[in-house]
Structure 1
């Protein structure tokens, strides 16, 4: 496929660095949205933070051999998922017992089924665990499409995404149960495609104004915000359009600051570990810390865990 844009290799910082910066901004927005659980700041973060990760994944997608890619996704994504899930279940048993409380999962063996179902059955410190299996399933499906139509700007993609978009909005209206985050997969698939298509386009200066106006509509809560886990996408097209606009502008911003955004890039490289652990930090420390301190710990402790895991080959193979 001809690379008509420079999205994957933009000037200013290099490919991996700006991507890590974008991931860092995204995961910090996720943490902020989980610390401030109501109000304007929370709504601003929820207006874009999860779509950003799906769009970025789509932007980086390339056609892969279907069988090999599927196997690699299942192993590389579900192994850390299971490892972190078991780790937090054990931690919850210990911490809640020490506090004199009741662990979230306390009715064994009945609790084995909701743990295996994941998604909407996981709450408290486990609430973010819907994201990785949802992204994995969407990436596998998207790669199936790329194997057939390697150019995301092929008009057939638009026709294929239309029923996905209708299914995404319909799923949110008529369903709440979401094993392994499957309820969100149709919208995730659409976002992957939009991210891949954006990579094929060249930036034009005039794009900034409409993107900025659409972004501000979400950041200022002029349109309803998003809750992707529950397949709540606000106003059809407008709320998600605002999230896409904010994400694209943040990608441009990431390119600009990549040469001197080292600490943000470091956070981005640890984004998967932060994604898994930050809600648990917030869950257990929120009674004892103010929100700014809580946010700091929600980033620093998982970041430290990332470097600890990375330094131990055995742990690295399991958790990363």
Structure 2
């Protein structure tokens, strides 16, 4: 079994290298496409365009994370995830809370959190208790916990195509749909963990599938069913996964095709890759930009600012050692 696991890891690593080359630029390009879809989905908040973006944009990030997963010692991985993910989470959340305390009074409005110390509780609960410029903060804790759980099993069953994975994947799918029907309350975004876990596994398993040209047709048809609105769209934060299995399959199909297109765009997609490298900072900050600028800008300019301002902040943070350690 260990030899089989080593073979799986070597095959996956070779395939990724062949697809993107170098720094695996296609991954950054795919992240760039995904984060643009996320931002646009928060700029255009209703209508067919918004529904098309919601049909795949958050699953794309979980799938990509699954594709990049490699088994690591569980305890060490969990500790590293907690330190490396929750530190920027807390730093960006504190930064935006302070900014809101300054900006809203300047506009003649009350800050979102204006009753202290009572407001400390919803801030600590996170997830569905955070709204306005903080609404996206569910994503990172959800991804972190999902990755910790997924790695704990991957370190035991290193081949995602091993049939033993069905022992956990089938109950996780059932749990994902069941809890989404029972409640929308989501502590730190953890309501979405069962479905995120499933998507991590799908991404890891798909990485081992040999791509064939004929796959464009069926995947394109399934993806188009979600993009066109034929299938109900997704809202992962609220654990609303549309039509069971089918909406999720459409999200996977669209994301996989974006990955394939990203491979071909990688040699020419420098700006997309630059946006992709800044995707986590954009994820944290773009809703705040939209929140404060939406009364003053039309949607296309709002989209541009919600992408460019956080991207610029990312590269400034990266160039400053103290800020890089805290926020990145």
Q: Name the TM-score class by shorter chain.
A: over 0.9
Q: Relative to 1, partners in 2 of residues 1:12 and 1:130: Cα closer, same or farther, differing over 3 Å?
A: closer
Unaligned ranges ≥5, structure 2: none
| Aligned partners of 2:20 and 2:27 also within 8 Å | no
Separation (CA, whole Å) in 1 of partners of 2:17 and 2:236: 29
Q: Deviations over 1:59-116 (max 9, x none)?
A: 0000001111001000000000000000000000100011110111011101101100
- Tell me how many residue pairs correspond in the alignment: 320
Separation (CA, whole Å) in 1 of partners of 2:239 and 2:115: 28
Alignment partner of 1:88 is 2:96: yes
Alignment partner of 1:230 is 2:253: no
Alignment partner of 1:127 is 2:146: no
TM-score by length of 1: 0.98
Separation (CA, whole Å) in 1 of partners of 2:136 and 2:143: 12
TM-score by length of 2: 0.96
- Which one of the candidate residues 105, 108, 129 is aligned to 2:113? 105
Q: Deviations over 1:110-140 (max 9, x none)?
A: 1101100100000000000000000000000
| Aligned partners of 2:133 and 2:291 also within 8 Å | yes
Partner of 1:279: 287
Q: Which moved more, 1:3-12 or 1:282-291?
A: 3-12
SS of alignment partner, residue 91 of structure 1:
helix
Alignment partner of 1:177 is 2:185: yes
| Aligned partners of 1:13 and 1:255 also within 8 Å | no
Q: Relative to 1, partners in 2 of residues 1:188 and 1:291: Cα closer, same or farther, differing over 3 Å?
A: same
- Which one of the candidate residues 244, 251, 254 is aligned to 2:252? 244
Separation (CA, whole Å) in 2 of partners of 1:38 and 1:175: 23
Partner of 2:76: 68
Unaligned ranges ≥5, structure 1: none
Alignment partner of 1:136 is 2:144: yes
Partner of 1:193: 201
Runs of 4+ displaced beyond 6 Å? none
SS of alignment partner, residue 108 of structure 1:
coil
How far off its partner does 1:206 sit?
1.8
Q: Which moved more, 1:8-17 or 1:269-278?
A: 8-17
SS of alignment partner, residue 233 of structure 1:
coil
Partner of 1:303: 311
How far off its partner does 1:13 sit?
4.4
Q: Deviations over 1:38-66 (max 9, x none)?
A: 11110110000000000000000000011
Separation (CA, whole Å) in 2 of partners of 1:189 and 1:113: 27
| Aligned partners of 1:281 and 1:298 also within 8 Å | yes
Separation (CA, whole Å) in 2 of partners of 1:133 and 1:7: 29
| Aligned partners of 1:51 and 1:244 also within 8 Å | yes
- Which one of the candidate residues 252, 260, 275 is aligned to 1:267? 275
| Aligned partners of 1:226 and 1:232 also within 8 Å | yes
Partner of 2:296: 288
Separation (CA, whole Å) in 1 of partners of 2:72 and 2:17: 19
Separation (CA, whole Å) in 1 of partners of 2:180 and 2:85: 25
Separation (CA, whole Å) in 2 of partners of 1:279 and 1:146: 34
Q: Which moved more, 1:120-129 or 1:11-20?
A: 11-20
Partner of 2:42: 34
| Aligned partners of 1:8 and 1:59 also within 8 Å | no
Partner of 2:221: 213
How far off its partner does 1:208 sit?
1.2
Separation (CA, whole Å) in 1 of partners of 2:268 and 2:71: 32
